[in-house]
Amino acid sequence: NAGVTQTPKFRVLKTGQSMTLLCAQDMNHEYMYWYRQDPGMGLRLIHYSVGEGTTAKGEVPDGYNVSRLKKQNFLLGLESAAPSQTSVYFCASAGFRDRYLYGYTFGSGTRLTVV
């Protein structure tokens, strides 16, 4: 049971380059999330999805786009990377039952450096 898998684990980008981070979960969870973690800032929500084909903005959505074409996958895109997007990115997923989340699970993270 893999849980939540993120790829790649590390990446270095030049300013202005684009890339896509992939998150895959095998728990049949409805909800998926993308967070970024910076030193001393905790986890900040970028975008999230409550189901296949739906996405919503979180706290810090600017400069990022997401897509949830399949229930098990949640993609995070950076169209034009900036040094301010240097961070560790975490994906998470959760099930939803009786209006409550359950089984909230994180991936192991992607360390992105923009130079």
Partner 1 sequence: GESVGLHLPTLSVQEGDNSIINCAYSNSASDYFIWYKQESGKGPQFIIDIRSNMDKRQGQRVTVLLNKTVKHLSLQIAATQPGDSAVYFCAADSRYNNNDMRFGAGTRLTVKP
**Span from 21-29, 62-70, 75-83, 94-102 in contact with partner 1 (CB under 8 A):** 94-102
**Span from 10-18, 21-29, 54-62, 71-79 in contact with partner 1 (CB under 8 A):** 54-62
- Residue number with CB closer to partner 1 (56 or 82): 56
Is the Cβ–Cβ distance between 46 and 34 less than 8 Å?
yes
30, HSE (Cβ side, Cα atoms, 13 Å): 10
Per-residue burial over 72-105, b if 16 or more Cβ lie within 10 Å, else e, is: bbbbbebeebeeebbbebbbbbbeeeeeeeeeee
- Tell me: does residue 26 bind partner 1 (CB under 8 A): no
- Residue number with CB closer to partner 1 (7 or 108): 108
Binder among 31, 34, 64, 74 for partner 1 (CB under 8 A): 31
- Tell me: does residue 58 bind partner 1 (CB under 8 A): yes
- Written as six digits, the tokens of 39 are 């030193």
